[in-house]
Structure 1
Amino acid sequence: MKPQALHGRILTPAGWLQGRIDFAERVLGLSEADAAAADAAAAGAEPQCLILPGFVDLHVHGGAGIDVMMGGDSAAAVARLHARHGTTALLATTMTASEDDIVRALQGIARNIAAQPADGARILGVHLEGPYLSLLRLGAQPPLVVPATLEQVRRLHALAPIKVLTMAPEIPGQLELIGPISALGIRVQVGHSAGSYDDGVAALAAGAAGFTHLFNGMTALDHYEPGIAAAALAHAEYAEIIPDLQHVHPGALRSALRAIPKLYGITDATAATGMPDGEYALGPQRVYKCMGCVRLASGGSLAGSALTMDQALRNLVSIGLDLADASQRLSRFPADYLGLTDRGRLQPGAWADLVVLDAQLQVRQVFVEGRAIPLAG
């Protein structure tokens, strides 16, 4: 790939740099602008662009009218939609379903991992959200839960690399599986759980790495009966949260930001993302998008989101986070959670995953491993 360069205000692990980033597939170097160029930029002689690490979304069900549970090349289509909004790497996320349906989805995802979509985000693997969930905290998941077995997890993991797995630890036998599943290289997360505070603490002690969409699909914080959410706030280093300002009140989001050092944002995006109002699929369920919300067509409860990561960034800034902090919660922290030291940051040797924004934080350019992503279509 031919080397290229961008100039602007660049967010690096050491902070902001006014200058130039050189890259091909990976970042080649960073250099500070000379004094004259810096003075001209400061004086507004040329438009300023903000260059951030590309977003890393660890919880994506769909987009562009497509759900990854459809199998085939659905994950590739979803990756293309989200790339146009600055997501440069993602986990294709499944739903609770029959094993046959999950197998079909994983086979399609595996094919798209092997032949990554042109003009799309890098598909890093799978977030298996279900079927090891509590019937009492299903949210928009269908009632097709089963108890986890190590044998089934191994079968599914052999089809496509599972990077994150959500489970309810209070279900008999599942707490004991956290260690063996983690040994496969899978991050086990607590979610869709009716468990107690003690269940959450026990899951972390057994090796659970995080929590799935904090506050949603779990027992709430109550000062007499603290639930799973309280266990996360008291003990977690990592947890994911949906910053669409609909799933979680800004006050609760601020509380979580203070309590959990590496809280990171996810979209929990559905097929409705990037689409007009109407009815869409979420696994076997039907959901309806209206006025920015996605709800079960049958009952009206929230069912994933229509969020994109660029809007998540703007939302975090709108509630008071500075841009650098908001950015790392959508890029570096989720990359770190997966153990990826060459994504989610702009430094020499890292993948050239970049999102270029204007002063209003609107996406102007996206590069995935050095490839420019068309923003239209």
Structure 2
Amino acid sequence: MTDPDRDGERTVLVAGTVVALGTAAPGWVAVEGERIAAVGHGAPPPGGTRRDLGAGAVIVPGFVDQHVHGGAGAAFTGGDPAEALRAVQFHRAHGTTTTLASLVAASPAELRRDVAALTELVADGELAGVHLEGPWLATARCGAHDPRQLRDPDPAELAALLATGVVRMVTLAPERAGGLEAVRRIVDAGAIAAVGHTDASYALTREAIAAGARVGTHLFNAMAPVHHREPGPAIALLEDPRVVVELVTDGLHVHPALWRHVLAAAGPDRVAAVTDAMAAAGMPDGDYRLGALRVTVTDRVARVAGPDGASGPIAGSTATTADLFARLVAEARLPRAEALAQAVALTATTPARVLGLADEVGALASGLRADVVVLDEGADGWLRVREVLRAGRIVEEVLPRA
């Protein structure tokens, strides 16, 4: 199979289902060079090279993952650009055509090193930016972050990291000393302030939102639980229409009944499905690392390995966004067309808007980058990736590290 012509010849992809223009129906996507030239439902117009993908094919926009730590045995931490690129390419081959590289809590020197190592990948367009998940997190809600590296926001350290120009999102706990001021500094620098790994009260979370926080990091996970007399951060984030909340819809982090409830309350334009994947994504069970912590994966579930061999907190996921998409459709309890449209919103359109990239990616629309995922439904009813285009080019499969 060859790429669509890079010199502008139109290639028309025709499929039994195209999720675009607010619905899912038989249709087509025309690609010219790096861009989508046109999209429609029904029979395609004449002209161009037609590729009939079949009645069972489903065409959706390339996925956008705003929270991912690695994959294929590679991580974004460690200061190795080649390793980081391998993680990007692995997820890209599974449909994630836009990736925000997430870093974990680390020392000031290690954070500077890791951000510097990713800078060229951002400049080259391989990454959409860097997400600092910590180190300004609550010790009681550290999850899979090294508690020895957690600290209050230091204005000088934060300013230096933001000055690199590649930090697009920062997750912090607003109850940390200087937390609200840090939110303001992040927003003033043009980055996204996210609330997560937090024990903040409902009232304090509302203050953080008033200060400019606009994302809730993996809602419910690593945050104070909902209580009928103290709603906590989850409810404050959910009820504010300015906030988009992340959900790890891998079947482990959040029960499907709960994410369905979140979607009923907030709507798909306020929910972003994220993998929170670590290096073990796409890899066999075994021992891995997430930053400085040792992680053991058993039956595809990653947990921090305790000093006595006992398993600790969940340490991200081993999922791809394609896995999330398939599960969102399968467990939506909606008519199929509605389930597909909702899944596209969560995995592409909403995160693209959050990251300020909606004029470039996140939908199948004329003028946007030709990021296209072709899915097939297996005999078990599960949707799986058949083919991925990024900027009009077919993405080759990247094998996990041996």
Q: TM-score, normalised by structure 1?
A: 0.92
Q: What secondary structure, in the 3-state scheme, does the structure 1 residue paired with 2:313 have?
A: coil
> 1:217 Cα shift?
0.8
Cα RMSD between the aligned structures? 2.0
The equivalent of 2:27 in structure 1 is 19
Query: 1:90-169, aligned counterparts within 5 Å?
Result: 90-116=99-125, 122-143=126-147, 144-159=149-164, 161-169=166-174
Structure 1 residue 207 corresponds to structure 2 residue 212: yes
The equivalent of 2:371 in structure 1 is 353
Output the CA distance in 1 between the equivalents of 2:44 and 2:35: 27
Inter-CA distance 357–210: structure 2 relative to 1 (3 Å threshold): same
Query: 1:58-73, aligned counterparts within 5 Å?
Result: 58-73=66-81
> 1:225 Cα shift?
1.8
Structure 1 residue 252 corresponds to structure 2 residue 258: yes
> 1:314 Cα shift?
1.2
> 1:238 Cα shift?
0.7
> 1:179 Cα shift?
1.9
> 1:370 Cα shift?
1.1
**Of 303, 308, 328, which aligns to 2:315?**
303
Does the aligned pair in 2 maintain the 1:232–1:260 contact within 8 Å?
no
The equivalent of 2:393 in structure 1 is 371
Inter-CA distance 250–55: structure 2 relative to 1 (3 Å threshold): same
Does the aligned pair in 1 maintain the 2:14–2:44 contact within 8 Å?
no
> 1:33 Cα shift?
4.0
1:146-175, Cα deviation, whole Å (9 max, x unpaired): 211333222112335111100101112111
**Of 217, 221, 226, which aligns to 2:222?**
217
Q: What secondary structure, in the 3-state scheme, does the structure 1 residue paired with 2:312 have?
A: coil
Letter matched to residue 192 of structure 2:
R
With 365-374 and 141-150 compared, the bigger mean Cα shift is at 141-150
Q: What secondary structure, in the 3-state scheme, does the structure 2 residue paired with 1:301 have?
A: strand
Output the CA distance in 1 between the equivalents of 2:298 and 2:30: 42
The equivalent of 2:96 in structure 1 is 87
Output the CA distance in 1 between the equivalents of 2:96 and 2:305: 28
The equivalent of 2:183 in structure 1 is 178
The equivalent of 1:7 in structure 2 is 14
Inter-CA distance 355–34: structure 2 relative to 1 (3 Å threshold): closer
Query: 1:226-241, aligned counterparts within 5 Å?
Result: 226-236=231-241, 237-241=243-247
Does the aligned pair in 1 maintain the 2:14–2:53 contact within 8 Å?
no
Output the CA distance in 2 between the equivalents of 1:85 and 1:186: 27
Q: How many residues align?
A: 366
Does the aligned pair in 2 maintain the 1:193–1:219 contact within 8 Å?
yes
Does the aligned pair in 2 maintain the 1:103–1:159 contact within 8 Å?
no
Unpaired runs of 5+ in structure 2?
Answer: 1-5, 47-51
With 364-373 and 316-325 compared, the bigger mean Cα shift is at 316-325
Inter-CA distance 147–350: structure 2 relative to 1 (3 Å threshold): same
Does the aligned pair in 2 maintain the 1:25–1:370 contact within 8 Å?
yes
The equivalent of 2:357 in structure 1 is 340
Unpaired runs of 5+ in structure 1?
Answer: 38-43, 117-121
Does the aligned pair in 2 maintain the 1:195–1:227 contact within 8 Å?
yes
Structure 1 residue 281 corresponds to structure 2 residue 298: no
Does the aligned pair in 2 maintain the 1:212–1:239 contact within 8 Å?
yes
The equivalent of 1:30 in structure 2 is 39
> 1:248 Cα shift?
1.0
Q: What secondary structure, in the 3-state scheme, does the structure 2 residue paired with 1:192 have?
A: coil
Does the aligned pair in 2 maintain the 1:150–1:181 contact within 8 Å?
no
Inter-CA distance 376–61: structure 2 relative to 1 (3 Å threshold): closer
Structure 1 residue 198 corresponds to structure 2 residue 203: yes
Identity %: 36
Does the aligned pair in 1 maintain the 2:13–2:53 contact within 8 Å?
no
The equivalent of 1:314 in structure 2 is 326
Letter matched to residue 303 of structure 1:
A
Letter matched to residue 345 of structure 1:
A
